[in-house]
């Protein structure tokens, strides 16, 4: 009985210490169980936002890039729209390895810098990037490269953890063994992202966001994280934007 009480107190009042890791290291560790995360709020909300955004984009016979593709979470949905090709880019060899297990014929590239120097100008009809932007240290350099490799009449779709929540202490975390690991993030306002894309000839066609409210409270209660819910209630937790260059 005493042990049970101590365990309850420890779990509810002294949350496990979170260790921050750089992006490549963190996602290499996360890759092993990234696709086995039932009840992951961010992944579930991202799936919903991505489905809304992709409705406004013609992918049939299009050349598509997925930057920050991870294990290819959205690839089945993308392939249903019959693109001519789909290329995955990621900084994590571990994530790309998992993607290749699922899609053995996939064309993938390990990102080693922001410039995408090995990719020709105006190469892709559509560039997709989900849950990635805030992991990039030099955002302007990266987004300008994305614009460079996108065709003149191309589309860019971005989703990510909302900067308002990140700025207030929100973290992307996962459990590895007995350790809670947070992936390093950088905070960029949505207006800053729009400004960079606008400068490169893109405008926002559609935009969505989801807030932490009663509809997602069960994600927190199931993880015994009601205190986290109360802290961030009312904050936007994820955004998604469809940009088009005209």
Instruction: State yes or no: pLDDT of 184 exceeds 50.
Output: yes
Q: What spatial distance separates the first Cα and last Cα of the chain, rounded to whole Å?
A: 67
Q: What does the alpha-carbon distance between residue 91 and residue 93 come to, in Å, rounded to a whole number? A: 7
Q: How confident is the model at residue 12 (pLDDT cuts 50, 70, 90)?
A: very low
CATH pick for 15-245 out of 3.40.190.10, 3.40.50.150, 3.40.50.2300, 3.90.1150.10: 3.40.50.150
Instruction: State yes or no: pLDDT of 218 exceeds 90.
Output: yes
Point out which residues pair with 108 in neighbouring strands: 88
Say if strands 202-211 and 63-67 run parallel, antiparallel, or are unpaired. Answer: unpaired
pLDDT, one tens digit per residue, over 224-235 is: 999 999 999 999
pLDDT, one tens digit per residue, over 48-61 is: 999 999 998 999 99
Q: What is the mean pLDDT of the chain?
A: 92
> What is this structure's pTM?
0.91
| Average pLDDT of span 26-49 | 94
The confidence score (pLDDT) of residue 246 equals 82
Q: What does the alpha-carbon distance between residue 194 and residue 42 come to, in Å, rounded to a whole number? A: 22
Point out which residues pair with 66 in neighbouring strands: 88, 128
The confidence score (pLDDT) of residue 2 equals 42
pLDDT, one tens digit per residue, over 145-183 is: 999 999 999 999 999 999 999 999 999 999 898 899 999
């Amino acid at each position: 009985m005493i042990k049970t009480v101590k365990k309850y107190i420890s779990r509810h009042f002294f949350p496990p210490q979170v260790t921050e890791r750089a992006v490549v290291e963190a996602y290499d560790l996360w890759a092993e169980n990234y696709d086995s995360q039932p009840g992951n709020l961010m992944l579930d909300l991202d799936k919903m936002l991505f489905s809304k955004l992709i409705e406004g984009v013609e992918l049939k016979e299009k050349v598509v890039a997925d930057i920050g593709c991870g294990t290819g979470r959205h690839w089945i949905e993308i392939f249903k729209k019959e693109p001519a090709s789909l290329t995955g880019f990621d900084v994590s060899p571990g994530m790309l390895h998992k993607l290749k297990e699922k899609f053995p014929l996939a064309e993938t590239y390990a990102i080693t810098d922001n410039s995408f120097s090995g990719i020709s100008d105006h190469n892709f009809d559509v560039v997709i990037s989900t849950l990635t932007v805030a992991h990039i240290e030099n955002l302007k350099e990266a987004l300008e490269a994305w614009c460079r490799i996108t065709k003149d009449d191309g589309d860019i779709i971005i989703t990510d953890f909302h900067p308002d929540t990140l700025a207030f202490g929100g973290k992307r975390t996962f459990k590895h063994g007995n350790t809670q690991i947070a992936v390093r993030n950088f905070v960029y306002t949505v207006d800053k992202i729009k400004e960079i894309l606008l400068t490169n000839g893109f405008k926002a066609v559609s935009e969505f966001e989801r807030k932490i409210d009663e509809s997602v409270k069960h994600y927190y209660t199931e993880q015994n994280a009601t205190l986290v819910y109360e802290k961030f209630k009312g904050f936007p937790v994820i955004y998604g934007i469809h940009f088009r260059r005209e």
